Amino acid sequence: MLGAILLGQMVMLGHAQQILYINTSVGELVKVDAASCQTTVVGSTSTLLQDIAFTPDGRLWGVYGNSLYEIDPNDATTSFVGSMPGLSTNSLVAWNNDTLIGDYYGWLWGIRASDGYAWQIDSIAIGSSGDLTWYNGDLYMTTFAPDLVRISVNSNLTAVTSIVHVGMLSVGWGGGWLGANTLMLESDCGPMPHLIACVGPNVLEVSATDASISPVCANVISGISWGAASLSEFREVIPTASSISIPNVFSPNGDGVNDQLLPSPPDLVTHWTCSIYDRWGNLVRICGSQAWDGRSVDGTLCAEGTYFIVARLSSPCSPSVDVHSHVTLVR
């Protein structure tokens, strides 16, 4: 195979990706290993914090009232950055290295990381119970209802494009959940994103599909969680662990080498369908779930050249993916 169109790429993640940082009601910054439930107290912050968030460059930020702080994740040393005019938020997540996002009185807000300057982005008409997180390209928020809400924003962070109530959360603390975060945890499919929430001293996993919950770690902190963050909660769509590709060259000449066109590696693909078109847009072959052998619908050998593929692929570790690609047939 001389080339490939990649659909997914395995993410090699270190131990840090499964670590959840929690700021507590007693002013501690705590690290929780979600795989082992081992807890380490990093230190005490100089002020209580209502939520914390990492930017992609590894800096840790916190908010209390209308104040923005930067926190050293190694020892919890806390430095005042600036005041956020008009904003007093209990939720925080990064947009990029320079901009953070919070909510206040039913509005989504942007926050400049360098000095705390804040501005309204768009109305969401709901309020957070303690955190925002990114999960596969969308914002997720727990509310005082308590329920789980998915929020989509446009590419330049100037408007909210959709709000979906995912479902009611079956367990609450004081009427609401404090925290919604994303962790990458190992699974049979490699590192996969998990939506995590904190309730009191406990850490739970929340389904991004229906808001059902399952326990992760119990009684991991002193006091209660006021917010949490991880190095996994960034807005990029997190690739699946599967690496599936369609070759862009094959040679169906009967020599037993590269004679058929199939997604690669084939053992990761549970189902695929494809339509093959020539350069003039004429349908040459419908593959169904079989390999293309370089022949047309009537069984004649196709000429050398470039052909275009419209395919749908699925694997055990990822949803169906629609692909528009091309392949060069050489004999």
Q: What is the CA radius of gyration of the chain?
A: 24
Residue 11 CA: distances (Å) to CA of 294, 313, 322: 34, 20, 21
CB neighbour class for 170 (10 Å; exposed up to 12, middle 13-18, buried from 19): exposed
Distance from C-alpha of 1 to C-alpha of 159, rounded to nearest angstrom: 44
Based on DSSP, count helices (H) and strands (E) in the chain, helices before strands: 0, 27
| Cα-Cα-Cα-Cα dihedral sign, residues 212, 216, 219, 224 | negative
Give the single-character DSSP code of 266: G
The contacts found for 59-67 with CB under 8 angstroms, 24 or more apart, are 59/97, 59/113, 60/21, 60/229, 61/92, 61/94, 61/100, 61/113, 62/23, 62/92, 62/227, 63/89, 63/90, 63/92, 63/102, 67/116
Distance from C-alpha of 165 to C-alpha of 3, rounded to nearest angstrom: 42
pLDDT digits (tens, 9 = 90+) for 73-90: 999 999 999 999 999 999
Cβ count within 10 A of residue 14: 10
Give the single-character DSSP code of 292: B
- Taking CA 112 as the corner, what is the angle to CA 102 and CA 97, rounded to the nearest 5 degrees? 90
| Beta strands 249-250 and 318-329, pairing class | parallel
What pLDDT does 2 receive?
A: 24
- The CATH classification number of 15-229 equals 2.120.10.30
What pLDDT does 4 receive?
A: 25
What pLDDT does 185 receive?
A: 75
| Token digits of residue 70 | 């930067």
| Beta strands 51-54 and 60-64, pairing class | antiparallel
Cis peptide before 146 (omega within 30 of 0): yes
Percentage of the chain surpassing pLDDT 90? 52
How is the chain split into domains, by residue range? 15-229, 242-329
Instruction: Please report, in tens digits, the pLDDT of each residue of the chain (331 residues total).
Output: 222 222 222 232 333 458 999 999 899 999 999 888 999 999 999 999 999 999 999 999 999 999 999 999 999 999 999 999 999 999 999 999 999 999 999 999 999 999 999 999 999 998 888 788 998 889 999 887 778 899 999 999 999 999 999 988 876 543 345 557 888 777 666 677 888 888 878 888 888 888 888 888 888 888 888 889 998 888 766 544 345 678 999 999 989 899 999 887 666 666 788 899 999 999 999 987 788 999 999 999 999 999 999 988 776 666 667 788 999 999 8
Tell which CATH classification among 1.10.8, 1.10.3470, 2.60.40, 3.30.1370 matches the domain 242-329. 2.60.40
Distance from C-alpha of 306 to C-alpha of 329, rounded to nearest angstrom: 6
Distance from C-alpha of 82 to C-alpha of 76, rounded to nearest angstrom: 18
